[in-house]
Amino acid sequence: MQTATAHRTGQLMVISLNNYLAVEAAYGAEAARNAMEHLRRTAERHFGRATLRSVHRHEMQLLVSHAPLRCLPGRSAAETLCSVLMEQPYRWGDEEILLFVSAASAAVSAMEDPLDDSLAEARGRLALSCLQGAQIFSRSHEAVAQYRKDMAAAAGLMRLVRRGAAFFTWRPVAQPDDPGLILYYEAMLRRVGHMGEQIDCADGYAALDRLGMAYLLDRRMLSDVIDELEGDPAACLNVAISSQSLSLNLLGEETGWNDMIERLKRDPGLARRLVIEIADNGGMPHFRDAVAFVRGLRELGVRIAIGRFGSGHASIGQLMALSPDAIKIDSAFMHTAYQSGRNRARVSHLIGLARTMSPIVILDGVESPWHLHIAREEEAQWVAGSHLGRPSLRRGWLNAGYSATVASLTAFNSAFQAADSRGQRLPN
């Protein structure tokens, strides 16, 4: 890195390693210090020219002075930097460790001390991140063992994604009385097993979620689904992201989703065919941010769905505040409906409750003719499950005939226009 003081306008970039304390507890103090050194080297390659101002535990300060950075808004530069820093895992011995960083910048008029005002400005922007610096981590033996286990699973999944060995399959959401009428296709991540079979990536994703790093995969998946929408104007697609990723300030002030939002702004037709499903696996840790995130997407035309309804951690009040366009009943309730009359009644109750919050209710877990019979008895309008369509590499919307394509697009538009006509709005 450059050590000489440069007298030209630039940026003070403040970087925070959010899982510093966890890495320190699980792998040792030297591993955490070397993780910061890994970030420094990666940032140096990214910027080409930068001055290391200081490193103190989880925080690093860089002075950057080159023209391309000044041409970018500070938030875009910070988001790009975060993406670069998190792209590859940090290797410590035989371990691969995923690093989760946030960043913010402030302009400086001269690349020399004192920079107190610029530092305060950058730290203020960084403090708006819902992550807010190094995360608290328990140092108990059980917590450390679980963290290392989760890190191995999460890093393994991200390795498959980087190599293209994890891929999307597509599952239709269809009408029970007319399985050929498709509302949309759900993107479901799979990998290839030892025998060539498709295996879902739920375990690896759950590990990412427990680590607080689901965004690392959510961002990739959303980008890939937007690619699919760009590739075919007849595609109506759904992708599920973690509730912990629902923040426009995830990596700093208005930093985390800018590139995706800009893509959707440039082509509003993409947004209108995109359904983002909130996978409520661990509640909504940043609820105010989640409301703002959903509002921002909906203003672009994106539709919002709630997944795992009945088994999620969010309260009914929180779900109502999000005002979802669609709700999907957790498949677990259909899987156990045959066990007792009470279980069967629970399905009916959940469908009724969901209908009070959303005009579109999807009954998941239709795996047999008996499940389909229940769906019809409950007058479910939309269902998902292997009985009507298993997840497939085949992009069904590409192979549909003209009339089927028109019918599905009409069904999609009609269903979601019903939500609009109800005047659903997020609270101010």
Instruction: Render pLDDT for 281-318 as a digit per residue (tens, 0 to 9).
Output: 777 888 999 999 999 999 999 999 999 999 988 889 99
pLDDT value of residue 405: 82
Greater model confidence, 367 or 417: 367
Q: Which of 21, 17, 31 is nearest to 92 (CA)?
A: 31
pLDDT value of residue 404: 81
Query: Which CATH architecture does the domain made up of 147-421 adopt?
Result: Alpha-Beta Barrel (3.20)
pLDDT value of residue 5: 45
Half-sphere exposure of 319 (CA within 13 A, CB side): 27
pLDDT value of residue 419: 64
User: What is the Cα–Cα distance from 363 to 393, expressed in whole angstroms?
Assistant: 23
161: helix, strand or coil: helix
Q: What is the pLDDT of residues 161-177, one digit of tens each?
A: 999 999 999 999 999 99
Contacts of 277 (CB under 8 A, 6+ apart): 186, 238, 239, 240, 241, 304, 305, 306, 307, 328
The band of 402, judged by pLDDT with boundaries at 50, 70 and 90, is confident
| Mean of all residue pLDDT scores within the chain | 90
pLDDT value of residue 111: 56
Greater model confidence, 104 or 398: 104
In this prediction, residues 366-394 reach a mean pLDDT of 95
Contacts of 340 (CB under 8 A, 6+ apart): none
pLDDT value of residue 425: 42
Q: What is the pLDDT of residues 333-370, one digit of tens each?
A: 999 998 999 999 999 999 999 999 999 999 999 999 99
CATH number corresponding to 10-139: 3.30.70.270
Domain residue spans of the chain = 10-139, 147-421
